[in-house]
Chains A and B, each alone.
Chain A
Amino acid sequence: MTYFEFLNEHGVTLLLGTVTTLKVLVCSMILYVIISMIFGLMRLSKNRAIQGIATVYIEFFRGTSLLVQLFWAYYVLPFFGISLEAFTAGVVALGLNFGAYGAEIVRAGILAVPRGQWEAAHALNFTPAKRIKRIIIPQIFPIILPPAANLTVELLKATALVALVTVVDLTFEAKQINSITWLSAQCFGTALLIYYIIARFALVPFLRWLEVLAARKVGKERI
Chain B
Amino acid sequence: MQMGWRWDFTFEILPQMAIATLNTILAAGVGYAIALVVGLFFLLGQKTPFKIVNWINREIVEFIRSTPLLIQLFFVYFVLPQFGITLSAWVCGMITIGLHFGTYLSEVYRGALEGVPKSQWEACRALNFSTIYTYRRIVLPQAFPIAIPGMGNYLVGIFKDTPLLSTIGVAELFHAATAVGGYNYRYLEPYTLVGIIFLTLSIPAAMWVRKLENDVNKAQGKIKK
Interface residues of A (CB under 8 A from B): 59-60, 62-69, 71-72, 75-76, 79, 153, 156-161, 163-164, 171, 174-175, 178, 184-185, 188-189, 191-192, 195-196, 199-200, 204
Contact = CB atoms under 8 A, between A and B. Distances in A.
Given A67-B174, A189-B75, A75 B63 contact: no
B66 A63 contact: no
Given A66-B160, A160-B68, 14 more contacts: A60-B199, A62-B206, A63-B202, A68-B191, A69-B195, A76-B191, A157-B68, A160-B69, A161-B70, A164-B167, A171-B70, A175-B74, A191-B71, A195-B66
Given A65-B160, A164-B167, A184-B82, A171 B195 contact: no
Q: Which of B71, B178, B195 has the most CB of A within 10 A?
A: B71
B66 A157 contact: yes
Given A71-B191, A188-B79, A200-B62, A195 B71 contact: yes
B160 A64 contact: yes
B52 to A, nearest CB: 20
A76 B199 contact: no
Per DSSP, chain A at the interface is helix
B51 to A, nearest CB: 21
Interface residues of B, number: 37
Nearest to A153: B66
The 7 A-B residue pairs whose C-beta atoms are closest, nearest first, are: A184-B78, A160-B68, A199-B66, A67-B163, A188-B75, A157-B68, A75-B187
B194 A68 contact: yes
Nearest to B81: A184
A178 B78 CA distance: 9
Contact of B192 (A65, A72, A174): A72
Interface of B: 3-4, 62-63, 65-72, 74-75, 78-79, 82, 160-164, 167, 174, 178, 181, 187-188, 191-192, 194-195, 198-199, 202-203, 206
Contacts, number: 110
Nearest to A192: B67
A138 to B, nearest CB: 29
Contacts of A178: 74, 78
B187 A174 contact: no
A220 to B, nearest CB: 32
A64 B66 contact: no
A151 B163 CA distance: 20
Contact of A68 (B79, B174, B181): B174
B187 A71 contact: yes
Given A153-B66, A188-B79, A64 B199 contact: yes
B79 A76 contact: no
Contacts of A196: 63, 66-67
Contact of B71 (A59, A69, A160): A160
Contact of A63 (B67, B163, B192, B199): B199
Contacts of A72: 191-192, 195
B137 to A, nearest CB: 34
A158 B161 CA distance: 10
Contacts of B188: 76, 79
A27 to B, nearest CB: 17
A66 B68 CA distance: 13
Contacts of A195: 66-68, 71
Nearest to B159: A65
